[in-house]
């Protein structure tokens, strides 16, 4: 997107379209912008490759936390080396001194956009997305990286010829890099990082020893929303959501989505356990159970469908046979009564076998049932909570962990939580 003739640039980012950065990246157009920066489509003039350039505003670059997040994003993505994590090729500064990252250009949409459009996904599609996310986390966790901000906005569904929904994780800006002294000093002690609806209880309470299991809780929350159309915990304010996460077990996903297979619901419930010791121990373990749940439910559903079809097919045949026999009997009775009334016997003829019942018509087929009405769009991501949220939740750290899951209807989704715009390398 270029500026109209005579329009004055609103900030330093508006002057970038049409310019060349670092002597080789020609800025083609704006993809999206947020409070901290913007993402542009660019072309590497040397090799003609299209890429995405993510810039940090000058004001944000002067903020130590924002600058560190930018550095962390590049480092985390380069360490993970997974096909399901967005690639970062280079980094540098523009001629105006703006920090930038050179990233792969993604074509498609994020999961948030798809959920807004469709409301919810069928179990097979949800498991496919969840499996790709877990494969990315398996590599990231092995490299000592905890994402800490998994949400539908950071799950990008790439359009590919070989696979329609190939997932790429984006935005490792608040990831935790384990065993790297001096790198993980992102915020003041006790601050809560992440997006409320997908945050684990230990993350909501700002535990200092966050590990990969916090990401698995977030995957469980994303699966829950993909299957039911709403996040597992809701509330009118950011703080209310955090308190619900720390004190209430999520309702069984089948309360809102009865068609979800039991085994799949069990995987989601285990991932959402408030006590992290009761969750999956690794992304690989959860991935195995998730894929097995879909295979098992698929086999059972296919067998059940065949049995139902057989039962539905046999009933009309039996019904038609009985009706035919009844009509034949009534017809014979009427003929006999006619000849009795005349006082004469029916004319003799060669005995012939009774006609067989008519062949059954085409078997009944099972049509797809209408899907449930789409749920209202899920709440938008919530801005980062102030330090006070963690302070008020500290007393919950040991009291409520490990409470068993209670199956009760979930309260209606709250529409009172506002969110902000995140940045990615998405191409419309």
pLDDT one-digit tens code per residue, 251-282: 999 999 999 999 999 999 999 999 999 999 99
pLDDT in tens, 363-379: 333 233 233 333 444 45
Question: What is the structure's pLDDT at 323?
Answer: 36
- Higher confidence at residue 9 or residue 3? 9
Averaged confidence pLDDT in the chain: 73
User: Is pLDDT of 423 > 70?
Assistant: no
- pTM value is 0.68
Query: What percentage of the chain carries pLDDT values higher than 90?
Result: 44
pLDDT(306) > 80: no
Q: Which residue has the higher pLDDT, 244 or 394?
A: 244
pLDDT score, position 327: 38
Q: What is residue 391's predicted lDDT score, i.e. its pLDDT? A: 56
Give me the mean pLDDT over the 332-359 stretch: 41
pLDDT interval class at 60 (50, 70, 90): confident
Residue 199 has pLDDT above 90, yes or no: yes
The 3-class SS string of the chain reads: CCCCCCCCCCCHHHHCCCCEECCCEEEEEEEEECCCEEEEEEEECCCCEEEEEEEECHHHHCCHHHHHHHHHHHHHHHHHCCCCECCEEEEEECCCCCEEEEEECEEEEEHHHHHHHHCCCCHHHHHHHHHHHHHHHHHHHHCCEECCCCCHHHEEEECCCCCCCEEEECCCCCCEECCCCCCCCCCCCCCCCCCHHHCCHHHHCCCCCCCCHHHHHHHHHHHHHHHHCCCCCCCCCHHHHHHHHHHCCCCCHHHCCCCCCHHHHHHHHHHCCCCHHHCCCCHHHHHHHHHHHHHHHHHHHHHHHHHHHHHHHHHHHHHHHHHHHHHHHHHHHHHHHHHHHHCCCCCCCCCCCCCCCCCCCCCCCCCCCCCCCCCCCCCCCCCCCCHHHHHHHHHHCCCCCCCCCCCCCCCCCCCCCCCCCCCCCEEC
Catalytic entry in 63, 110, 149, 400: 149
Give percent of the chain with pLDDT exceeding 70: 61
Domains of the chain: 12-104 (3.30.200.20), 107-300+380-427 (1.10.510.10)
Residue 394 has a pLDDT of 56
Report residue 298's pLDDT band, with 50, 70 and 90 as the boundaries. low
The pLDDT value recorded for residue 75 is 79
Q: Report whether pLDDT(86) > 80.
A: yes
64 vs 398, higher pLDDT: 64
Annotated catalytic, 252?
no
For residue 389, pLDDT over 90 is answered with: no
Over residues 149-173, the mean pLDDT reads 87
């Amino acid at each position: 997107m270029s500026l109209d003739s005579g329009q004055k640039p609103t900030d330093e980012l508006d002057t970038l379209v049409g310019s060349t950065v670092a002597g080789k990246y020609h800025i083609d157009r704006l993809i999206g912008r947020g409070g901290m920066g913007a993402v542009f489509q660019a072309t590497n003039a040397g090799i003609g490759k299209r890429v995405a350039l993510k810039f940090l505003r000058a004001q944000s670059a002067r903020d130590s936390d924002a600058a560190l997040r930018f550095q962390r994003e590049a480092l985390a993505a380069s360490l993970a080396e997974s096909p399901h994590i967005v690639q970062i090729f280079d980094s540098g500064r523009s001629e105006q001194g703006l920090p930038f990252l050179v990233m792969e250009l993604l074509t498609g949409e994020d999961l948030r956009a798809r959920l807004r459009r469709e409301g919810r996904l069928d179990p097979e599609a949800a498991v496919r997305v969840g499996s790709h996310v877990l494969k990315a986390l398996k590599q990231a966790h092995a490299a000592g990286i905890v994402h800490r901000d998994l949400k539908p906005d950071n799950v990008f569904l790439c359009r590919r010829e070989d696979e329609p929904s190939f997932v790429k994780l984006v935005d490792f800006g608040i990831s935790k890099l384990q065993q790297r002294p001096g790198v993980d000093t992102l915020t003041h002690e006790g601050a809560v990082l992440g997006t409320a609806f997908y945050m684990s209880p230990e993350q909501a309470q700002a535990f200092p020893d966050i590990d990969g299991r916090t990401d698995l809780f977030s995957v469980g929350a994303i699966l829950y929303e993909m299957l039911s159309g709403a996040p597992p915990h809701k509330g009118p304010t950011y703080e209310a959501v955090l308190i619900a996460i720390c004190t209430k077990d999520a309702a069984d996903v089948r309360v809102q989505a009865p068609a979800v297979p039991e085994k799949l619901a069990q995987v989601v419930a285990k991932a959402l356990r408030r006590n992290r010791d009761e969750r999956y121990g690794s992304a690989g373990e959860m991935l195995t159970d998730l894929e097995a749940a879909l295979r098992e439910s698929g086999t059972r559903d296919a067998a059940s469908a065949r049995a139902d079809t057989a039962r539905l097919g046999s009933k009309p045949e039996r019904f038609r046979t009985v009706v035919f026999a009844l009509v034949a009997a009534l017809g014979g009775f009427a003929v006999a009564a006619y000849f009795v009334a005349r006082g004469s016997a029916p004319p003799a003829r060669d005995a012939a076998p009774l006609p067989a019942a008519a062949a059954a018509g085409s078997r009944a087929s099972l049509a797809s049932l209408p899907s449930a009405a789409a749920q209202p769009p899920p709440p938008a991501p919530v801005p980062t909570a102030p330090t006070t949220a963690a302070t008020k939740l500290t007393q919950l750290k040991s009291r409520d962990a490990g409470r068993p899951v209670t199956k009760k209807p979930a309260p209606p989704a709250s529409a009172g939580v506002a969110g902000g715009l995140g940045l990615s390398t998405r191409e419309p």
